[in-house]
Amino acid sequence: MVRAATGEKKTGRTRQTVESRRGQLIALGLAFFGTRAYDVVSIDDIAEAAGISKGLLYHYFPTKRDYYAAVLETAAEDLRLQTVIDPTLTSDVRLRTGLEAYLDFVKARGPAYVALMRGGIGSDPVIAVILDRVRGHFIDTILKDLPPHPRPRALRVLLRGWVGFVEETSLAWLESPPGTISRAQLVATASSVLVSLLGDMLT
Amino acid sequence: MVRAATGEKKTGRTRQTVESRRGQLIALGLAFFGTRAYDVVSIDDIAEAAGISKGLLYHYFPTKRDYYAAVLETAAEDLRLQTVIDPTLTSDVRLRTGLEAYLDFVKARGPAYVALMRGGIGSDPVIAVILDRVRGHFIDTILKDLPPHPRPRALRVLLRGWVGFVEETSLAWLESPPGTISRAQLVATASSVLVSLLGDMLT
């Protein structure tokens, strides 16, 4: 069992407390990193907002970079979990339902989504891998539905482009005034781009 | 005329020298920031690689953030200049030629392109604006060719998605082994995605 070394009373703490404290710190990080640059977010501000000592924060996350990575990992995992779709549905319905779930995540969890997408500290490979894994997950999900392809590596390049299309329209949608474009139109357009890409590649 | 305060002999320096020193530092920054995280690039390393004092580097760029911004601005401007296409060509040819020029930049200036795309320090608005301006420039260039549109804001959201498609396929192409996908296929696919997006929107 993990135990905090400083800053909290040692009596009566359970694993549950440790987990929920960690969750609280991550939630705080999602709000902070979604709206501020990495290097202007200070560990002091986070500790103060959480009402704990800086030492205790460092107990959970040894460095600021570790904390940042944990926050982005959580956003990535939340996004992945929210877009799990019943595999017994037809592929058309799964695509539409998956895109709807994705956009619902974007709307409901704006700062977390922005933190994940704009994450990274320059060309930081450690952080970049978190986002690359989510992208890879979506690409694999699409590929699983397709017949084996003679040039799968070329197809992956184009599918990564499609994921980029979805990400950038999502960010633009989040920033745009209400009424600019509907969720339904975004879903329809992203679906039709994917279908036309696959059509080009598979013929 | 700008004059360095420290670290160089004061005699015989001309504006040319100052400009070329600045250019040398920017070129160095493109290589550094394209391959390393922002917070592990140190001003000491840059000064050492340039063979100048840290004080002189700070004379040209008062903070590391200023230096980073200048480096990304240069990458953005180079990309914009390299994709200027003769306006008397037909819109089809301009699109194809523009995409070819874009991909040539990606291949020839890999680290600079990666620095620009992966730029930003978390959700840093000051840095994000540099990339947003390049994207806006490409979107405006496309919109200039189109008839006035009843819902231009929705169209901008989708065009931003298309730019995301081009950026992500470009990065994937750069990272992939030779022979994965050709420049010609990337150009053809990006063109056909754009034409189909505009077709959906304009009908």
Q: CATH fold of A70-202, please?
A: Tetracycline Repressor; domain 2 (1.10.357)
In chain B, list all ranges with CATH 1.10.357.10. Answer: 72-202
CA distance B166 to chain A (A): 6
Q: How far apart are CA B86 and CA A198, in angstroms?
A: 33
Q: Write out residues 136-165 of A within 8 Å (CB-CB) of B.
A: 151, 153-154, 156-158, 160-165
In chain A, list all ranges with CATH 1.10.357.10. Answer: 70-202
CA distance B2 to chain A (A): 29
H helices present in B34-151, as ranges: 43-50, 54-60, 64-82, 91-108, 110-117, 125-144
Q: How far apart are CA A114 and CA A93, in angstroms?
A: 27
Count of CB atoms within 10 A of residue A113's CB? 23
pLDDT at A202: 65
CATH of domain A15-62: 1.10.10.60
Mean pLDDT per 10-residue section of chain A, whose length is 203 residues:
44 64 93 83 93 93 92 94 94 95 95 84 77 93 84 91 97 94 96 88 66
Q: Is the ipTM here above 0.90?
A: no
A192 and B200 in contact by Cβ < 8 A? yes
Burial of B85 from C-beta contacts in 10 A (0-12 / 13-18 / 19+): middle
pLDDT at B148: 80
Q: Classify B156 as helix, strand or coil.
A: helix
Which chain B residue shows the shortest CA-CA distance from A114? B123
CATH of domain B72-202: 1.10.357.10
Q: Tell me which DSSP letter residue A139 carries.
A: H
CA distance A147 to chain B (A): 19
- Decide if A32 contacts A72 (C-beta within 8 A): no
pLDDT at A96: 96
pLDDT at B12: 44
CA distances B80 to A67, B71, B132, Å, are 37, 14, 12
B68 and A34 in contact by Cβ < 8 A? no
CA distance A126 to chain B (A): 9
Tens digit of pLDDT at every position of chain B (203 positions): 444 444 444 444 455 588 888 999 999 999 898 888 787 889 999 999 999 999 999 999 999 989 999 999 999 999 999 999 999 999 999 999 999 999 999 999 998 898 888 877 766 777 888 989 999 999 999 998 888 877 788 999 999 999 999 999 999 999 999 999 999 999 999 999 999 898 877 66
Q: What angle do CA B119, B120, B121 make, to 5 degrees?
A: 130
pLDDT per residue as tens digits for the range A24-43:
999 999 989 888 878 788 99
Chain pair A-B, CB pairs under 8 angstroms: 171
Tell me whether B98 touches chain A (CB under 8 Å). Answer: no
Looking at beta carbons, which residues of chain A come within 8 Å of B189? 158, 161, 197, 200
In chain A, list all ranges with CATH 1.10.10.60. Answer: 15-62
- Decide if A6 contacts A55 (C-beta within 8 A): yes
Integer-rounded Cα Rg, in Å, for chain A is 20
Angle between helices B64-82 and B15-33 (to 10 degrees): 90
Q: Write out residues 101-120 of B within 8 Å (CB-CB) of A.
A: 114-115, 118-120
pTM: 0.86
pLDDT at A35: 81
